[in-house]
Every structure is written in C-alpha cells, then in structure tokens.
Amino acid sequence: MNRRNFIQILGLGAGLGAGIGISSAIVGCGPTEPTEAFGWNGPDPMEKDIRMQVLAYAILSPNSHNIQPWIIRITGPLSFDLYVDPERLLPATDPYYRQIHISQGTFLETLSIAATGLGHEARIDYFPEGVYGNHELLNKPVASIRLIPRADINPDPLFAHLLTRHSNKQEYDNRRLKQTEIDALQTFHGAASIYPLSIVQSTKAKQQLEKILTKGMQIEVGDKKRDLETIGMFRFNDAEVKQYRDGFGVTQAGLSGIKKMIVENFLLSRESTEKDPTAFGEQAVDLTRKTAESTATFAWISSPGNSRLDQVKAGRDYCRINLKTTAMGLVQHPMSQVLQEFEEMLPLQAQFKKQFSINSSDTVQMLFRLGRAEATPHGPRRLITALIRD
C-alpha cells in the first residue's frame, strides 16, 4: 500500500469526494448497492408488525464501529427484550464494554422516538432482571420494552430525522457554532438529561483537543490487538459491505467516485493491512489530526457515576443530540480514543480531564466534534431478523 498516496487522496476526498458525482458503478469498480438497500429506507411499507417497524428504525442508531451489538428476544405481541450481543464486542478498545452499553442507549432512544412517530409509546424498563457491574457482562436484558398504542401521542419532532442522522467523519469547515446554536443545544439537552453537556470552542480548547485527540489515536494504534480489532470492522470494498452489512469504510469518511475506487482497488487490501497494520495506523493518526484541525467546536457528555444505567442513559442523550444537530443542519462525530479504559490510555485521559477541569472521578461518556459539512453516505445495517433470537 502506498501510504502517502492514500492520505493525499483521502485529504482531497474530504473536500471534493462528495462533489465528484461519479459513482463507482460508472467507473466500473464492482458492485455497488444503493445505501437505501442497507436499512435506510425505514420499515418495509408492507410490514404490519409494530415491533418490526420500530426495530427497523432502532437498528439505524449510532453505535461503536457500527458493530450493531444488539439481540432482541420477543416476549409478547407488543413487547420484546434488548440484550447485548456477546458475539459483538470490542474488548481490545472497550475492555469494560462501556461503549457497547452506550450503544444500547442509542438503540433505546431511537426506538422510543420511532414509536411516537408510529402512534405508540415505548415503555422501557431498564435491567428488569437486575443491573450487573460495570466490569462484567451478564446474560440479562438491558431493557424490557412494551409498545402501548396511543392515538393521542404527539410524534417526537426528532422522528423526522431518524433516516438522515449519521456520524459525519470528514473534515469540517472550521467555523464555530453560533452562540444561539450552542444555547439551543444546551436548552434541548438540559430539558431531558441529568448529565452535563460541555461545549467548548475557544482557540485554546481547540488547540488542546487537537493534541489530545491525535495523541489518543497514536496510543490506540500502537498495539496489534487493537489494530486488528479495528481492521476487523473496517470494510475494504463494496463486496465486504454487502457481505457483512456492518462496520465502516472510506465511504463514511466522505470518499466517493474515482477516489474511492482508487483507494479500494489499488491502495487498500485486507490481506496486506492485516499482515502489517503499521500504515493503517499511521493513516488513522493523520486523519484524526486533520479532522480535529478542521473543527472549531467540541463537546462531551459526562456523568458522576458510571453504572450500566448511566452508560445506557448517556447513550440516549448522545443519540438525541445527534438527531437534534441533524435537525439544525449541523454534523457530529464521536472521537472516543482518549475515553477508552485500557491501561496505556489512562495518563492521557487524566491529562484531558485536568486540562478541562473535569472531576477526575467523573466519566466522560461521549466526546465528539460538531460543525458543518456535506452529508456522507450511511453505514450499512443488517436485517432486523439477524437481531432476533428465540
């Protein structure tokens, strides 16, 4: 793989990729599937089962590495339980499954909003068989969900944004949010959440975060186990996307058309990357630096406690903010490396908390950037049936 070429192409791709408008089908790089085919049209119009309709939205939730760590067990005609899928964890980068539980919260938030848009209330009972410790994962439901038909229910205004929300990983235009936008986000968040939302955009904060985020990625990629875990979720071409319907690839970083075709066909291959992840790691660091440098506004949600319930609720908050920023014409992107709990990251995490006066005992659950950029294509999703178990 020619690392410099890849970076140059990705660098250009961030600005121009979406604008090129030549699909990989036209340039003949193999099968392309419209993203709509991977879940983003919402429920099948022929689907009459409200549980399946709601789940068709819930699967579109943001989740770490798009691993889709959800299992559904049907418990009644209008009810089901949500479990963590123990086969879909990321133990090298998320050793205590905190991000996986945040991803349960995003799922619950999306389904709850979807229910209102479909004339139902979703009653959610958290950890109905008892909550487990935040260093363990037990085979107990994260939540029991009951759908109550409610002719009088007002659809949540965020329902209109479930099919367009996405994590926008490309470069932004380095413009700060307006104070009115920050105020709107704080008011919106404060109305439903018990956890503080911090939004920073001073020159000093930006410079500090550029360094911290880049360093965080440098630390993450310094280890073969972690590299292989990420590479395992990276989709190197359209055929892999079609086969697995999860993970993420260069498309989600804003690369399209000829540039995507060149990177996927000539510069990146699973075989060589797995054999030697060094260049892949270097690219991740360079891209992190570039995306951080292109951003003026950063935000985080923190919680004084860090129980499984805190994690799930913080995930709900994160998802609501992502939908709200979508509604406001803004884009959003988590950058989680410095929050990760493996040993080598802890000194940088302590430094981050100190620099931003975050209590050392608080947990920063989500750290993300905010800004403006063209929309990028959606990441794929599996079929709902893949989530459902007896």
Ligand X SMILES: Cc1cc2nc3c(=O)[nH]c(=O)nc-3n(C[C@H](O)[C@H](O)[C@H](O)COP(=O)(O)O)c2cc1C
Q: Which residues contact ligand X (rule: CB under 6 A)?
A: 62-66, 99, 102-103, 106, 166-167, 169, 248, 334-337, 378-379
HSE toward the beta carbon, residue 336, CA cutoff 13 A: 21
CB-nearer residue toward ligand X: 167 or 294: 167
Shortest distance (Å) from residue 145 CB to ligand X: 19
In angstroms, what is the minimal distance from the CB of 356 to ligand X? 18
| Helix locations, 246-307, DSSP H | 257-262, 270-275, 278-293
d(CA 156, CA 121): 11
Choose between 13 and 147: whose C-beta lies nearer to ligand X: 13
Q: Are 169 and 66 in contact (CB under 8 A)?
A: no
Residue 330's nearest CA partner among 166, 213, 199 is: 166
One-letter amino acid identity for 375? A
State how far the Cα of 68 lies from the Cα of 52, in Å rounded to an integer. Answer: 16
Task: Kindly list the distances between the CA atom of residue 14 and the CA atoms of 8, 175, 194, 333, in Å, as whole numbers in the listed order.
Answer: 10, 16, 36, 14
- 261: three-class secondary structure by DSSP: helix
Q: Nearer Cβ to ligand X, position 74 or 163? A: 163
Q: How far is the CB of 143 from ligand X (least distance, A)?
A: 16
Of 246 and 264, which has the nearer Cβ to ligand X? 246
The least CB distance from residue 102 to ligand X, in Å, is 4
Shortest CB 5 distance to ligand X, Å: 22
The nearer residue to ligand X, 182 or 213, going by C-beta atoms, is 213
Residue type, 2: N
Smallest gap, in angstroms, from Cβ of residue 154 to ligand X?
Answer: 26
**Distance in Å, CB of 248 to ligand X, minimum:** 5
Return the residue matching tokens 């009644």: 76
- The candidate with the shortest Cα–Cα distance to 237, out of 264, 198, 262, is 264
Question: Following CA atoms 376, 382, 384, 388 in sequence, which dihedral angle do they give, to the nearest 10 degrees?
Answer: -140
Return the number of the residue (159 or 248) whose C-beta is nearest ligand X: 248
CB nearer ligand X, residue 147 or residue 158: 158
Minimum separation from the CB atom of position 76 to ligand X (A): 29
Q: How far apart are CA 230 and CA 221, in angstroms?
A: 9
Nearer to ligand X, 54 or 284 (CB): 284
Q: Which residues contact 338 (CB under 8 A, 6 or more apart)?
A: 212, 213, 215, 216, 345, 348, 349, 352, 367
Cα-based torsion angle of the residue sequence 59, 63, 68, 72 in order, rounded to the nearest 10 degrees? -60
Spatial separation of the C-alpha atoms in residues 91 and 21, rounded to whole Å: 38
State in angstroms the smallest separation of the CB of 4 from ligand X: 22
Residue in 86, 271, 153 with CA at minimum distance from that of residue 280 = 271
Please identify, using beta-carbon distances, which residue of 116 and 291 lies nearer to ligand X. 291
- Which candidate, 323, 377, 329, 12, places its Cα nearest to that of 168? 377
CB of 293 to ligand X, least distance (A): 16
Q: Which is nearer to ligand X, 258 or 317 (CB)?
A: 317
